[in-house]
Structure 1
Amino acid sequence: MALLELTNTHKSFKITSGLLGLQSGELRAVDNINLSVEKGKTLGLVGESGCGKSTLAKCIMGLEKLTAGEIRFEDKTINSWDEKKLRRKIQMIFQDPYSSLNPRHKVGAIIREGLDIHHIGSPKDRILKVNETLKLVGLLPEHAQRYPHEFSGGQRQRIAIARALALNPNLIVCDEPVSALDVSVQAQILTLLKDIQTQFKLTYVFISHDLSVISHIADQVAVMYLGRIMEVGPAQILFEFPRHPYTQALLSAVLAPDPEAQSQQILLNGDLPSPLAPPRGCPFHPRCPYAFEKCAVIKPELKNVDSQIQTACWLD
């Protein structure tokens, strides 16, 4: 059973100009997305910067209201949830551990904040919960008395993970949680997230532009471009047999451990188009090496190309 379901999810922003603030355009950040995440699994959401990944994360969190469509969590629409109850069920780990933690608060207060707001347990119980959570992420109880600036980047992200875990959520949205860390530290944090997921049967939506990171943690992968899903399927199959030209280009840019095994990189023409003026037809066609006349006229919808993979491409 799916813990999270997105149906025809759409989020656009009005662009205003002039002294009167009249609408001059529309930015489609999330355009007709259909996805589901099974309980205890990880959905990896990948794509270039500016493709709408973080906006989609905010919609899942209930921080942005949808323009159209529906998001269901535990078989209830996001909008029908009481906001306070939703915050206990869905937590988020942010990209930058240096700016996501309040520098004026000690670590214990940061982790305990959610427990205080929701009045969970007695003051003594909350302190015990903070200490347990710190141990869970590989830190010590005495670290609760220190400030964030006294820790390294990797340790700060462990604190951010502890804060997310304190309320015992069912779903955690991870918005580029390792992109600001060194490669060696990235591996430690990914291992920690996987261990915690197994222990508590957590469900993740893991956002990243780095496919090598996604390949280590995701069960299902959705490739996003200009607010739309280009390809989605099981991680192992999608990485071994990418069908969409955009997925193929992204994977060709991933460095292989063996230089001799590195395949030829697919170079895309031009830059990512502006979401304020997306191309007609397939949004990827101006940069696609295989585009033909139909691609520039009609927008392909996401469809099954086999029993497990879906793509939005006229080549399939």
Structure 2
Amino acid sequence: MPPLLELINVTKHFKVRSGMLGLQAGTVRAVDGVSLTVNKGETLGLVGESGCGKSTLAKCIMGLESVTSGEVVFKGRSLSSWDEKKLRRNMQMVFQDPYSSLNPRQKIGSIIRESLDIHHIGTKEERKEKVIELLRLVGLRQEHGQRYPHEFSGGQRQRVAVARTLALDPDLVVCDEPLSALDVSVQAQVIGLLKDLQTRFDLTYVFISHDLSVVSHISDTVAVMYLGRIMEIGPSETLFADPKHPYTKALLSAVLLPDPTRQAERIALTGDLPSPMNPPSGCPFHPRCPEAFDKCRRGRPNLMPLDTGVKTACWLYGSE
């Protein structure tokens, strides 16, 4: 069976203009040659520092941003060949801020029902029943449909966003930092909700986060992104138990341990994330890498499969 979603060498560059004439001053390489696959019913976790291109890649997957080069293939068809209306029925997104993604002038019931109205799904009475069912699925009551977004907590608003996402019975849901605006206790509730809904409806997730502990809990496969490129990708348990790339090791060393008696060995990265307008030559991580050597500065490594099932883009393990 072919993968539900496939990215083939996807790039997304933004032109930067300056001056009164708007002349091009440079190019931001937000996504720089990303290839990956996601199978039906799986969860792909996408992690990395802020500014590494995760959200831009999410928008490319959704068709909200057109790719500069490469191809996004969904259900065996190029994204560009899909009718916009049909695509939205099959692919939905949960945004980072549950408040700004909801219309403050609409009641919750109307927000959830809107997509059903646009796509003319069912009768008026059937749509009303569907909204009640969706509210129940995400742990809200029928009377909540008569309230406005500002009358809910952050966790409840994110539940509303999830209910709206499920209204059209999509195959793929892209979750772009859906927990970052929530308290830790609420995060656990939303994670449980997402996992339960995935099992019930056979959903496929692309889950974007900078919180590795959350990603390890929800993901089947994890891709580590840095400066627009995938640095390491593999099964979640394997990658977290035995990371190979120095960048992945540094990210994992920053995760807080639940046992206060254990002392974690931190890997401190020096310097800031380089500008995507002027990426370094060779491996993009080499200016901050504690294990870099001459070859890292000269050539850019491709992802190489290792015996553990993980693929890593690092000269320490050779490269294709």
Q: What interval of TM-score do these two structures reach, taking the shorter chain for normalisation? A: over 0.9
- CA deviation digits over 1:125-171, x for unaligned, max 9? 11110000000000011110011111111100000000000010000
User: CA contact under 8 A between 1:42 and 1:219: conserved in structure 2?
Assistant: yes
Gaps of 5+ in 1: none
> Which SS does the other structure have where 2:261 is aligned?
helix
The corresponding residue for 2:31 is 30
Q: Which amino acid aligns with 2:200?
A: Q
1:111 is aligned to 2:141: no
The corresponding residue for 2:298 is 297
- CA deviation digits over 1:232-286, x for unaligned, max 9? 0000000000000000000000001002224211000111111111111110000
CA distance in 2, matches of 1:23, 1:176: 31
CA distance in 2, matches of 1:260, 1:74: 48
> Which SS does the other structure have where 1:108 is aligned?
helix
The corresponding residue for 1:247 is 248
1:86 is aligned to 2:87: yes
> Which SS does the other structure have where 1:48 is aligned?
coil
The corresponding residue for 1:142 is 143
User: CA contact under 8 A between 2:238 and 2:308: conserved in structure 1?
Assistant: no
CA distance in 1, matches of 2:92, 2:274: 32
- CA deviation digits over 1:40-79, x for unaligned, max 9? 0000000000000000000000011111101100000111
> Which SS does the other structure have where 1:259 is aligned?
coil
User: CA contact under 8 A between 2:304 and 2:311: conserved in structure 1?
Assistant: yes
The corresponding residue for 1:186 is 187
- CA deviation digits over 1:163-220, x for unaligned, max 9? 0000100000000001110101000000000000000000000000000010110000
CA distance in 2, matches of 1:133, 1:265: 44
The corresponding residue for 1:208 is 209
1:228 is aligned to 2:229: yes
How many Å apart are 1:39 and its aligned residue? 0.3
The corresponding residue for 1:275 is 276
Q: Under a length normalisation based on structure 1, what TM-score does the superposition of the two structures give?
A: 0.99
> Which SS does the other structure have where 1:114 is aligned?
helix
Q: Which amino acid aligns with 1:216?
A: H
CA distance in 2, matches of 1:260, 1:79: 53
- CA deviation digits over 1:274-306, x for unaligned, max 9? 111111111000000000011111111111122
Q: Which amino acid aligns with 1:45?
A: L
Q: Under a length normalisation based on structure 2, what TM-score does the superposition of the two structures give?
A: 0.98
**1:121-136 alignment runs, 5 A limit:** 121-136=122-137
| Residues 198, 262 of structure 1: alpha-carbon distance in 2 compared, 3 angstrom cutoff | farther
State which drifts further: 12-21 or 123-132. Answer: 12-21
Q: Which amino acid aligns with 2:129?
A: L
Q: Which amino acid aligns with 1:165?
A: L
**1:6-17 alignment runs, 5 A limit:** 6-17=7-18
Gaps of 5+ in 2: none
CA distance in 1, matches of 2:33, 2:309: 20
Percent of aligned pairs sharing the same letter: 69
Q: Which amino acid aligns with 1:219?
A: D
State which drifts further: 16-25 or 135-144. Answer: 16-25
The corresponding residue for 2:316 is 315
User: CA contact under 8 A between 1:255 and 1:262: conserved in structure 2?
Assistant: no
CA distance in 1, matches of 2:25, 2:149: 43
- CA deviation digits over 1:92-149, x for unaligned, max 9? 0011112111111000000011111111111111111000000000001111001111
User: CA contact under 8 A between 1:43 and 1:220: conserved in structure 2?
Assistant: yes
CA distance in 2, matches of 1:165, 1:262: 42
CA distance in 1, matches of 2:61, 2:130: 27
CA distance in 2, matches of 1:259, 1:238: 24
How many Å apart are 1:307 and its aligned residue? 5.3
How many Å apart are 1:19 and its aligned residue? 1.9
CA distance in 1, matches of 2:303, 2:90: 30
> Which SS does the other structure have where 2:143 is aligned?
helix
Task: Report the aligned-residue RMSD.
Answer: 0.8
> Which SS does the other structure have where 1:261 is aligned?
coil
